[in-house]
Amino acid sequence: METSETTAISDLWEMLQQGPRRTLAQAAVDEFGKRGFHATTTRHIAERIGMSPAALYIHYPSKADLLFTIAKIGHEAVLNESLAAVEGISDHHERVLSFVRTFTAWHAVNHLLARVIQYELHSLQPDHLKEIAAIRRRTADFAAEEFRHLVSDTSKLRMRTVACLSLSIDVARWYVPGKSPAPEELGAEYAQLVIAMLRS
C-alpha cells in the first residue's frame, strides 16, 4: 500500500499545516508540559528547535497566543477523538467502553499536551479561557450523555461523570512513557473501572 494505515489516524496538528508554525507549537508543548507555562521562556522554546527567540514572533503574536493555539488544538482533538470513538456503535455499554478507552489512552499518549490543556487553564487570558471553556463543556456534556444510560440513579449522574473523567485526566499527571503501562492497556483497564463505578 502507498500510505500506511497509521497515517490515516487523525493527526493532532492537522489544523496547523506543516511548517515553522507547527514546529514551534510542538516544541512549546514539550516545554510547557515539562516545566509549566510560566516557567518556560521563549528562549527555551527557540533553543529546542535551534532558532532564535525572535522567530516565535514571526508566527505568533505572543507567548500567550501560542498557549491558546495549543489549548484549542488539544481540546478539539480530544473532543473529536471521543466523538469518533463511539461512532457507529449502538450498544450503550460498548459505547462507554470505547469512549473511556480512547479518552484514557489519549491522555497517556499525549500526556505532555494533556498537562498543558488540563493544568494550565489559569494561565490563559480571560477571553481565551472563555473560548476553551466552551469546548470543555461540550466534552463534559458528551460524556454525561453517554454515562447516563448506565447510571440508574439520575441524581448521581453529575458527580459520577466528574469522577469518571477525573480518572482519565489524572493520567496526564503521573504518566511516564517507559515506566507506566501501555496506553491501550491502561485504557482497557480504566474502561472496566468506569463501568464498575457507573453501575455500582
| Contacts to DNA by CB under 7 A | 19-20, 40-43, 46, 50-55, 57-59, 61-64
* The three-state (H, E, C) secondary structure of the chain, written as one string: CCCCHHHHCCCCCCCCCCCHHHHHHHHHHHHHHHHCCCCCCHHHHHHHCCCCHHHHHHHCCCHHHHHHHHHHHHHHHHHHHHHHHHCCCCCHHHHHHHHHHHHHHHHHHCHHHHHHHHHCHHHCCHHHHHHHHHHHHHHHHHHHHHHHCCCCCHHHHHHHHHHHHHHHHCHHHHCCCCCCCCHHHHHHHHHHHHHHHHHC
Q: How far is the CB of 115 from DNA (least distance, A)?
A: 17
Considering the complex, state which of residue 46 and residue 113 has its C-beta at the smaller distance from DNA: 46
Considering the complex, state which of residue 16 and residue 108 has its C-beta at the smaller distance from DNA: 16
Q: How far is the CB of 71 from DNA (least distance, A)?
A: 15
Grid cell 479518552 is found at 103
Q: How far is the CB of 125 from a second copy (least distance, A)?
A: 13
Q: What are phi and psi of 180, to 5 degrees?
A: -80, 165
Considering the complex, state which of residue 51 and residue 188 has its C-beta at the smaller distance from a second copy: 188
Q: How far is the CB of 138 from DNA (least distance, A)?
A: 29
Considering the complex, state which of residue 84 and residue 112 has its C-beta at the smaller distance from a second copy: 112
Give the binding site for a second copy (CB under 8 A): 34-36, 38-39, 118-119, 122-123, 156, 159-160, 162-163, 166-167, 169-171, 173-174, 181, 186, 189-190, 192-193, 195-197, 199-200
Q: How far is the CB of 50 from a second copy (least distance, A)?
A: 24
**Out of a second copy, DNA, none, which partner does residue 57 contact, by CB within 5 to 8 A per kind?**
DNA
